[in-house]
């Protein structure tokens, strides 16, 4: 067993004993460092000049939030120099360095975010992300075989779809691209070079033809649970009294509904990630007496289905069409949430795939736009 392997095993044991240890970032970043070295060696072996950089060597400067750091700046001077000399530059994603020189990792979506950040620093025309799919689809083809690959989609639509359950790109990378106006193209890493197709371009709304389809895609998320606080006193500040302790426990809250009050009381419902359901339920049980609620109920077998499209801004009747389509299939809507370019509903999880299929057909997403 190599000395490096022994060191990593020792570090892993240290992290297991001390979960907040900064050594976790060292372990997480080692794989990227090995990979960039091997790739550079392979390129040079076929006669291509290559240079590899770790996040610290490039100086991808981040804050000190270990395992979930955020990028502050990038020093692109060395990369530009090597590109100018005709070298292929290979940079380790997912990692950076803080002001004190400690290695940090960017957390979920870090590799995509690194690529977008470097593209922004270099003022690249386009950032190409190779992944295990050949683009962004109108919905998951495993559920709807007729799902169609989109040629283009706006940053707003991609942000909504990513946040609503689409697994193609991590939301942080899309946020970064939109903020710094970096066009993204999603391509397949499973095809031979030159055979990967055009993929999907994620770009600005003004770059897209005026006659956009009303709906661009349908996203869904099974990782949902609903909690309802019954018989809550209908008074100012009650929402904070319920959700304040939830937020302090670092539990994300998504959809929120408060019914109209009757006889001085109301019902308050909200959704949380399914993995936080038990924790949130226990927390509400503790605050129930304090807020004067009658009962706490919940359901961890729900799902969220959303229709997304910038065309909703200029077209009416999208919500009624969505609700009618679900009603015709006997699918009950438990909660509704809307924004300028999306409508989300919470339904029983057992109806999820049926809902996605009928909505995809109702909005004619299987048809190529004229």
pLDDT one-digit tens code per residue, 355-368: 999 999 999 998 88
pLDDT one-digit tens code per residue, 302-350: 999 999 998 888 788 899 999 999 999 999 999 999 988 999 999 999 9
Record the pTM. Answer: 0.79
For range 48-75, the mean pLDDT: 87
Does residue 204 surpass a pLDDT of 80? yes
| Torsion region of 197: left, alpha or beta (phi above 0 gives left; psi -120 to 50 gives alpha) | left
Kindly list the distances between the CA atom of residue 93 and the CA atoms of 27, 58, 77, in Å, as whole numbers in the listed order: 14, 11, 18
DSSP 309-365: -GGGGG---HHHHHHHHHHHTTPPP-EEEEETTEEEEEEEGGGHHHHHHHHHHHTTT
Give residue 188's pLDDT band: very low, low, confident or very high (50, 70, 90).
confident
Backbone φ and ψ for 335, nearest 5 degrees, come out as -145, 155
Strands (E), the chain: 50-53, 60-62, 71-74, 88-91, 95-97, 103-105, 127-131, 152-154, 184-188, 200-203, 217-233, 256-258, 265-272, 295-308, 335-339, 342-348
Pairing type for strands 95-97 and 103-105 reads: antiparallel
For range 20-34, the mean pLDDT: 59
pLDDT one-digit tens code per residue, 233-272: 888 898 999 999 999 998 999 999 988 777 778 899 999 9
Q: Whole-number mean pLDDT of the chain?
A: 85
pLDDT of residue 276: 94
CA distance 268 to 325: 27
Q: Which range, 27-41, 54-68, 197-211, has the best average confidence (pLDDT)?
A: 54-68
Q: Contact 271/165 with Cβ under 8 angstroms?
A: no
Q: How many CA atoms lie within 13 A of 75 on its CB side?
A: 12
Kindly list the distances between the CA atom of residue 111 and the CA atoms of 89, 107, 126, in Å, as whole numbers in the listed order: 16, 9, 16
Environment class of residue 59 by beta-carbon count within 10 Å: exposed (0-12), middle (13-18) or buried (19+)? middle
Domains of the chain: 1-107 (3.40.1160.10), 124-208 (3.40.1160.10), 218-362 (3.30.2130.10)
Does residue 187 surpass a pLDDT of 50? yes
Give residue 146's pLDDT band: very low, low, confident or very high (50, 70, 90).
very high
CA distance 97 to 66: 10
């Amino acid at each position: 067993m190599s000395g490096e392997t022994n060191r990593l095993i020792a570090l892993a044991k240290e992290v297991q004993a001390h979960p907040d240890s900064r050594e976790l970032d060292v372990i997480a970043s080692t794989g990227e460092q090995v990979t960039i070295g091997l790739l550079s060696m392979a390129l040079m072996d076929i006669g291509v000049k290559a240079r590899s950089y770790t996040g610290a060597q490039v100086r991808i400067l981040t804050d000190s939030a270990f395992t979930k750091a955020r990028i502050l700046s990038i020093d692109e001077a060395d990369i530009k120099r090597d590109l100018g000399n005709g070298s292929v530059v290979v940079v380790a994603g997912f990692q950076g360095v803080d002001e004190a020189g400690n290695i940090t990792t960017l957390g979920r979506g870090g590799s995509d975010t690194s690529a977008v950040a470097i593209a922004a620093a270099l003022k690249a025309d386009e950032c190409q992300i190779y992944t295990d799919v050949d683009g962004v689809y109108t919905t998951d083809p495993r559920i709807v075989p007729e799902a169609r690959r989109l040629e283009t989609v706006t940053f707003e639509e991609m942000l909504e779809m990513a946040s609503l359950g689409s697994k193609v790109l991590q939301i942080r990378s899309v946020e970064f691209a939109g903020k710094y106006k970096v066009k993204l193209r999603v391509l397949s890493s499973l095809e031979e070079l030159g055979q990967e197709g055009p993929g999907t371009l994620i770009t600005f709304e003004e770059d897209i033809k005026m006659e956009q389809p009303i709906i661009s895609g349908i996203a869904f998320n099974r990782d949902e649970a609903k909690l309802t606080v019954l018989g809550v006193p209908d008074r100012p500040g009650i929402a904070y009294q319920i959700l304040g302790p939830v937020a302090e426990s670092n539990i994300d809250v998504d959809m929120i509904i408060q019914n109209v009050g009757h006889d001085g009381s109301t019902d308050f419902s909200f959704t949380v990630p399914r993995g936080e359901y038990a924790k949130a339920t226990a927390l509400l049980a503790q605050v129930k007496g304090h807020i004067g609620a009658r009962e706490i109920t919940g359901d961890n077998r729900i799902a969220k289905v959303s229709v997304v499209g910038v065309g909703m801004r200029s077209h009416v009747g999208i919500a009624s069409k969505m609700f009618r389509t679900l009603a015709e299939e006997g699918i009950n809507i438990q909660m509704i949430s809307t924004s300028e370019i999306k409508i989300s509903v919470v339904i029983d999880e057992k109806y999820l795939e049926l809902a996605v299929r009928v909505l995809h057909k109702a909005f004619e997403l299987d048809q190529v736009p004229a």
